[in-house]
Structure 1
Amino acid sequence: MAFWQGLINWLGYGHEGEEPVMEKPVLEAETTPVTPAKGKLVGLPTARNAMRLVIARPQSFEQAAGLAENLKNYRPLIVNVEGIPVEEARRIIDFLSGAAYALGGRVRKVTSGIFLFTTSNVDLSGDLEDQIPGGLNWLEAAGRGR
């Protein structure tokens, strides 16, 4: 407003005898930076980041590579090899065991012919006693071996 009043007075249209009004400059208040309250932020599980469990019943060894893709994407896998030839089942389990091992995972036997393959992001607990460290003696135990 002081600018316009000064311009009007300079042009000669202002009131005589009035002194120009000087506005006081507005000082910005000093602000102190606001620091967020320290606390522990905990994420809650949602449907978006829920883990998927893949259940498969392969019919041939050609499907093993597709199943291993699930392990590469950090999805646990349950594979049922009951009802397929013993040699075909052995090849599938060997292939998926190698994939799980390469990804830092584990293989656990659920029942005769059904196996759980996990990767390093899955922590298993419970009484699944028949953990398979390397061999496939389950075929002989089930009477399906050579």
Structure 2
Amino acid sequence: MGFMDSFKKITGLNSDEGYESDNDYASEMPSALNFDDYDTPKPTIKSSKMMSIPATTHLQVIVVKPEKYGDAAAIADHFKNKKTVVLNLDKTNKEVANRLIDFLGGVAYAADGDLKRISGTTYIIVPVNVDISGDIIEDLGNVEDF
């Protein structure tokens, strides 16, 4: 008996009590696994909440001929409601017309819209969901202000 055997005996590490061999459980193991006994997991289908968005939305164009600066609030309200506004300033005083353009330009800018001149004294104010394009818009870049 060597030193290690006597050490194991003294510390109790040498005893086979409480030790279970792997062979004790060999008889309990199934001889073959049968995969047919297991249910195949079914994929779960989650219903997504879909919302259809109409392809065409109702766009409205408002034509206004303001006579005084007090009309600016009503014009801004139309624009705030996502309506395109055509502003005809033919009969408007030059000073009032300049103030209206300044005010409505600020309104359009604040709402990410756009204000463009479409003829000498006619302007169009469009919300962010409307694009303006055409040759006349590009040609008017050279037209002088009132």
TM range (shorter): 0.5 to 0.7
Give the match for residue 145 of structure 2.
138
Aligned pairs (5 A) from 1:7-18: none
Q: State the 1:35 CA deviation.
A: 8.3
Q: State the 1:54 CA deviation.
A: 0.7
> Given that residues 88 and 122 in structure 2 are in contact (C-alpha distance below 8 angstroms), is that contact kept between their aligned partners in structure 1?
yes
Give the match for residue 54 of structure 1.
62
> Percent identity of the aligned residues?
27
- Change in 2 beyond 3 A, CA 1:44/1:119: closer
> Given that residues 108 and 115 in structure 1 are in contact (C-alpha distance below 8 angstroms), is that contact kept between their aligned partners in structure 2?
yes
> Given that residues 62 and 86 in structure 2 are in contact (C-alpha distance below 8 angstroms), is that contact kept between their aligned partners in structure 1?
yes
State the TM-score, normalizing by the size of structure 1: 0.59
Instruction: State the Cα RMSD in Å.
Output: 3.0
1:83 aligns with 2:91: yes
More helix, by proportion: 2
Larger radius of gyration: 2
Give the match for residue 43 of structure 1.
54
> Given that residues 57 and 79 in structure 1 are in contact (C-alpha distance below 8 angstroms), is that contact kept between their aligned partners in structure 2?
yes
Aligned residues: 102
Gaps of 5+ in 1: 1-32, 140-146
Q: Distance in 2 between matches of 1:109 and 1:115?
A: 4
Pick aligned residue for 1:68 from 72, 76, 81: 76
**Runs of 4+ with >6 A deviation:** 33-36
